[in-house]
Amino acid sequence: MHPDFPRHGNLFRRFSTPWIKCLSRFSGIFHTVEKSARFFHAMENFFAFFPRYGKKACPASAGFSTPWKTSPHALSCVPAFPVFLLTVLPAFLLFHLTGCSPGPRDAALHGRTMGTTYSIRIARPPLTRQEWRALQADVDAVLDELNRQMSAWRPDSEISRFNRAGVNEPVAVSADFAHVVRRALDLAAATDGALDPTVGALVNLWGFGPDGLRRDAPPPDAIAAARKTTGWRHLTLSPDGRLSKAVPGLQLDLGAVAKGHGVDRVAALLRDRGLEHFLVEIGGETLAEGLNADGEPWRVGILRPDQSGHLHGVLSLTGGRAVATSGDYRQFFRDSDGRIRSHIIDPRTAAPAGHAVASVSVLADDSLTADALATALLVLGPDDGLRILRGGFPGTEALWILHSPGGGFEEASTRSFVSTARYHLGSGPR
């Protein structure tokens, strides 16, 4: 089943705004072109009738989408194909000859950052080609800067420099990096340490850090040794931005919050440029501002937490709200007992979070908070997670997708998750 998507044809609207202004100079042609636009609309529905051609949800761990609804009248347009040749093609030629061109409905930027991909969609972008190129360069510059600060994979990053530092040896860090560490420490306190930015040594030991993969659980003495190096209370950040560790070997890991912070930074950049309608996504952490090109809240798909690539559900997002998803289905190995061992470490046990939660999606007012809480709530599970949210995070909503004992999935959520996000179940290919 596809989610409920706007029924009206997009091409007709495309014809009805900037094109129409241009067409007013050729009033006799307008009627023909309007008809052609309607015909194109019918063709859209025709193609949407076949899943292969219908518009699909965009890929992301919480992918975004405006798939098209299939039309019950889809086939009625087929005999009209000759009309297409006689009307739309001449109209297109005319536009090109007169220098008229349509404004795009929405435009996208894509790239790679933080070991994953990012994408940005801007509805009806009011940008020239030059401004667009400048925006891409500015986005890449912001994301490169974040990589230079927070990538544990880069030996020259600020985080790697700190991780090599000795005990009680303060390291001066940039203001942006200090801001992220401060937020991570506050969220560690607020989640009873379920989010712990000092789990780096354990993440590495379990095979999910820069040191490479493993295929079975590490020996208990190695776990005990790595555990001694962790604990957010052993990390201090002075007011002037100097970071120090109180136990030897402490390794900072900002993987649980860096993508969310990147989304917030890019969203701030887009707002600075005067943009009001956009969707920003890094590795599935997503923030939506304004409305999509159809004048509706952006639709964000939540992936089914398995290898199918299918959507589990769809939610509506707008008003600068963010959604982030953490799960056990992307980065994991099965140990010799067949247990899923995912990249999210439960700091209480020094082992991958081991319960029935397959994924958690969190809605919050900024992406860093959503990202941090998704990781923490995966560790905590629904009972403790609900308690933490009620206690300290008003307006923040969460959805847990749980492995059901008989196979398949079950859901648990905060009371308002469904109504706030207009969330509904959806399945099938994204």
Binding site for ligand AMP (CB under 6 A): 195-197, 199, 203, 208, 253, 255-256, 326, 343-345, 347, 371, 374-375, 379
**Part in contact with Mg ion (CB under 5 A); list of ranges 41-49, 175-183, 351-359, 375-383:** 375-383
Shortest Cβ 384–Mg ion spacing (Å): 17
375 interacts with Mg ion by CB under 5 A: yes
Q: Which does 195 bind (CB under 5 to 8 A by kind): Mg ion, ligand AMP, none?
A: ligand AMP
Residue nearer to Mg ion on the CB measure, 91 or 324: 324
Beta strand pairing call for 424-425 and 278-282: unpaired
| 398 vs 401: CA distance, rounded Å | 10
For residues 260 and 322, is the Cβ–Cβ distance under 8 A?
yes
Instruction: State residue 163 phi and psi, 5-degree precision.
Output: -65, -30
- The DSSP code for 251 is B
Per DSSP, the three-state class of 140 is helix
In the complex, minimum distance from the CB of residue 248 to ligand AMP, in angstroms, rounded to a whole number: 20
CB of 255 to Mg ion, least distance (A): 8
The least distance separating ligand AMP from the CB of residue 379, rounded to whole angstroms, comes to 5
Please give the C-alpha separations between residue 53 and each of 45, 56, 62, 119, 169, in angstroms, as whole numbers.
10, 8, 22, 22, 59
Strands 171-172 and 116-123: unpaired
Q: Do the Cβ atoms of 297 and 316 come closer than 8 Å?
A: yes
81 close to 321: Cβ distance less than 8 angstroms: no
Cβ atoms of 257 and 284 closer than 8 Å:
no
User: Is position 149 an interface residue for Mg ion (rule: CB under 5 A)?
Assistant: no
Which residue number, 2 or 261, has a Cβ lying nearer to ligand AMP? 261
**How many residues would you count in the chain?**
430
Instruction: Identify the residue among 178, 371, 388, 400 touching Mg ion (CB under 5 A).
Output: 371
Q: Are strands 409-413 and 397-403 parallel, antiparallel or unpaired?
A: antiparallel
- Per-residue binder mask for Mg ion (CB under 5 A), 244-273, x = binder: ------------x-----------------
Of 109 and 256, nearer to Mg ion (C-beta) is 256
- What's the Rg (C-alpha) of the chain? 25
Q: Which does 2 bind (CB under 5 to 8 A by kind): Mg ion, ligand AMP, none?
A: none
Nearer to ligand AMP, 150 or 412 (CB): 150
> How far apart are CB 295 and ligand AMP at their closest, in Å?
32
396 contacts Mg ion (rule: CB under 5 A): no
The DSSP secondary-structure symbol of 295 reads S
Spatial distance between the Cα atoms of 225 and 407, rounded to a whole number of angstroms: 36
From the list ligand AMP, Mg ion, none, pick the one residue 344 interacts with, judged by a Cβ distance below 5 to 8 Å according to partner type. ligand AMP
Question: Out of Mg ion, ligand AMP, none, which partner does residue 345 contact, by CB within 5 to 8 A per kind?
Answer: ligand AMP
Smallest distance from Mg ion to CB 87, Å:
52
Binding site for Mg ion (CB under 5 A): 256, 371, 374-375
